[in-house]
Structure formats: C-alpha cells, structure tokens
C-alpha cells in the first residue's frame, strides 16, 4: 500500500500554484470569463425576479430554473479549468499558453464522473439518514437518562457525518487525475487508489482549500453581502414570517446589486482567487496521484 507524503504534496501544490500562476491563469481565464458572463446575465434576470418578488413572494419560485442553468454552466466551466490545470501539473501539452478551452472526451468523462458522484452522494445521504434515524429510534427505546441518550444521539450524528466525509474524500480526491491520465470515468479506480490514505488526503484538502475559502467568505460577507441574510424567528407568526421573507428578498436584491455595481472589481479579484484555488487543488491531486502510482521520487 503506497502512502501519500503529505508535507511534500502540500509544498509542491503551493509551489505549483504560485510559480506557475501565469500558466494557470492562461488556462483558467477563458472558462472563468464565460462563467462570469453567464452569471452576469443570470443576475439581471434574478434582479427582475427579486423586484417582482417584493410584491409577490411566490414569484421567487422562478429562481429554480435560473439556478439550474447557472449550476450547469458552473460545473462545466470548472471541469474545463480543472482538466486544463491538471494537464499543466502533469506537464502535458495544452492548446495555448494564452488561453484554454477544450470540449474533449476528458471533459465528458469528468462531467459523467460528477453526475455519478452526485448520485452516489444522494444514495450516501439516504443511507446515513435512514441508518441514523434507526439508531436514534433504538436509543429512544433504551431505558437511559436524558443526558446519556442525548450524548448517544450526538455520537450517532458525528459518526454518520464522519462516514459521509470519508466517502466523499475517498471517492473524489483523485478523480480528475484518473480522468485525464487514464482516460476513464474512474470512480472505482479513484476509490482504490486512495485506500489507506484518507487522513492524508483529508489533511491535504484542508491545507489547500480552507485558507482560500476563508478569504472568499471574508470578501463576500464582509464587502459584498454585508453579513448574513435575516434569520427567521422561532415560533414566528404569519405576519413575522411574511416580514422576514420580504427582508430576505431585500437582502438578496442588495447583495446582487453590489456585485452588479462593482463587477469590474469583483470579477478580476475572484479570477485571481479562482486561479490560485484551482492551481492548489488540481496540483495537490495530481502530485498525490503521481506519488501513489509512480512513487514520491517522481514528484517535481
């Protein structure tokens, strides 16, 4: 069983993301621009719906179709980015040093893998919920003090959540390198490669994702969205619920307005963050795959 060298992978990922930043940016910027254009058009439609929803809250139901289209565009463009940056990390040729956009078989395989992952997640969630509910039901049948029963229920939740995280990390961490190099959808292969390396993959994932996610949250909630949306009150009356819904609509409208107003700042800043994030995560996954398949000595 091969072991992933955690420290070396993290170091290589950060070195790749920053030393190769111009090349990574060359791969990322065109899919990012297409994604931003789609989001900008969607924001215009959402602004119109929000204005209507202020008077008729049921109008907000039309958000669903827009959100589905935005999600489809988002996952497709992110897949294009990750495939291109993964090729860079492997030293494989890309179409140009100035831009990258390819709708090749690797993209179709990765999108198919994403769909399979989502279906697997749904199954995993159902299993976790049903299993957790059954355990909670059995705990309620036991003649235990309230404190002990509460502690056991909390333990069930922790175990169930941990099992779900384990499943997702094992299934997804190595999927893009498998798709690019081995030319297959490769969920089973990704799972087998990660055997015995969950905690290593989890530590690498946290080290490359958490810092940039924290930065994004600070920028989004600190400068664009001005805090969290209004929260509903417990045991609220019908009037209070309606007022809270109106406040949420107003919050979303104001947040979208900030993005639209300062698009020339928001989009470039998040393009840089996206390029660094993609370089870090794709680099970490690629170097981990190389360490598992050819040995740590193959790392650059």
pLDDT at 96 over 60: yes
Closest by CA position to 284, among listed 203, 221, 166? 203
pLDDT band for position 116 (50/70/90)?
A: very high
The model's pTM is 0.80
Give the separation between CA 260 and CA 163, rounded to whole angstroms: 40
What pLDDT score was predicted for residue 143? 82
Residues above pLDDT 90, as percent of the chain:
39
Instruction: Round to the nearest angstrom and report the end-to-end CA distance of the chain.
Output: 22
Average pLDDT over residues 167-171: 92
What are the residue ranges spanned by the domains of the chain? 6-298
Average pLDDT over residues 79-91: 93
- Mean pLDDT check: name the lowest of 62-71, 125-134, 144-153, 289-298: 62-71
Average pLDDT over residues 148-152: 85
Average pLDDT over residues 255-278: 83
HSE of 103, CA atoms in CB hemisphere, 13 A = 1
Which segment, 57-71, 118-132, 245-259, is predicted with the most confidence on average?
Answer: 118-132
Give the separation between CA 86 and CA 10, rounded to whole angstroms: 15
Residues above pLDDT 70, as percent of the chain:
86
DSSP assignment, residue 296?
A: G
Contacts of 50 (CB under 8 A, 6+ apart): 60, 249, 252, 253, 256
193-208: burial string, b at 16+ Cβ within 10 Å, e else: bbeebeebbbbbbebb
Contacts of 269 (CB under 8 A, 6+ apart): 219
Give the separation between CA 21 and CA 26, rounded to whole angstroms: 8
């Amino acid at each position: 069983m091969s072991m992933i060298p955690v420290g070396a992978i993290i170091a290589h990922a950060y070195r790749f993301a920053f030393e190769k930043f111009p090349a990574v940016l060359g791969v990322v910027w065109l899919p990012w621009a297409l994604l931003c254009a789609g989001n900008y058009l969607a924001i215009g439609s959402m602004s119109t719906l929000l204005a209507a929803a202020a008077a008729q809250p049921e109008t907000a139901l039309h958000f669903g179709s827009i959100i589905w289209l935005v999600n489809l565009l988002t996952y497709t463009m992110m897949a294009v980015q990750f495939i291109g940056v993964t090729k860079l990390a492997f030293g494989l040729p890309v179409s140009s040093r100035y831009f990258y956009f390819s709708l090749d078989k690797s993209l179709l395989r990765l999108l198919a893998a994403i769909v399979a992952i989502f279906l697997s997640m749904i199954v995993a969630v159902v299993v976790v919920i049903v299993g957790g509910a059954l355990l909670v039901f059995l705990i309620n049948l036991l003649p235990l003090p309230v404190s002990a029963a509460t502690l056991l229920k909390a333990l069930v939740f922790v175990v169930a959540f941990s099992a779900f995280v384990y499943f997702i990390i094992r299934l997804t961490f190595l999927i893009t390198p498998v798709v690019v190099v081995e030319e297959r959808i490769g969920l089973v292969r990704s799972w087998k490669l990660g055997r015995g390396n969950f905690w290593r993959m989890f530590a690498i994932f946290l080290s490359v994702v958490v810092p940039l996610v924290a930065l994004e949250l600070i920028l989004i909630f600190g400068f664009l969205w001005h805090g969290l949306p209004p929260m509903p009150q417990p045991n609220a009356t019908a009037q209070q619920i309606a007022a809270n819904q109106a406040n949420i609509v107003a919050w979303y409208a104001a947040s979208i307005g900030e993005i639209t107003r300062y698009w020339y700042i928001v989009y470039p800043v998040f393009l840089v963050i996206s390029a660094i994030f993609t370089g870090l995560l794709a680099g970490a996954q690629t170097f981990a795959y190389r360490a598992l398949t050819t040995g740590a000595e193959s790392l650059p």
